[in-house]
Amino acid sequence: MRYGAAALLLACFAGPALAESLRCNQALIDVGDSMRRVEQYCGEPTDAQQYTMPFIYIDSRGYRRNGGEQVYTEWIYNFGPNRFMAKIRFIAGEVTQIHELGYGY
C-alpha cells in the first residue's frame, strides 16, 4: 500500500503542471488574454503549432452535438535554464490554458 501511494504521488508530478498565470517581464499573462498581449510582453514564441479538434457541445436537451472543428494554437516559450518553460494554448485568439513545463535550455 505504501508503494502504491508513492507511485500515485510521483505520477501527479510527472506531467506538465497547469498554471493559472505566467509572468513575462513586468506583465502577468492570464487566461482570457489575447495573443497580441502575450506576444507584446513575452515576445516571439520558441515554437508555435496549430491544431484542429472536433467542437462538441451539449444542447438544451442534454444531447452531445458535433459543432464542426475548432482551431487552436499552442505556443512554447523557453526562458532559459534558470526558468521553467511554458506552453500557452489559444482558442479564437485568447489564452485558454497555461502549462508550466520543465526547465528551459
pLDDT digits (tens, 9 = 90+) for 8-42: 444 444 555 666 899 998 899 999 999 999 999 99
- In whole angstroms, how far apart are CA 35 and each of 17, 38, 44? 21, 5, 11
At residue 7, the pLDDT reads 46
Q: How many residues belong to the chain?
A: 105
Q: Where are the beta strands (DSSP E) in 20-104?
A: 21-24, 27-30, 47-58, 64-77, 84-91, 94-103
At residue 15, the pLDDT reads 52
At residue 53, the pLDDT reads 87
- The rounded mean pLDDT for the chain is 86
At residue 10, the pLDDT reads 45
Beta bridge partners of 98: 19, 88
At residue 68, the pLDDT reads 87
CB 69 within 8 A of CB 55: yes
Q: What is the DSSP letter of 61?
A: T
At residue 67, the pLDDT reads 86
Alpha helix (H) residue ranges in the chain: 2-14, 35-42
Residue type, 5: A
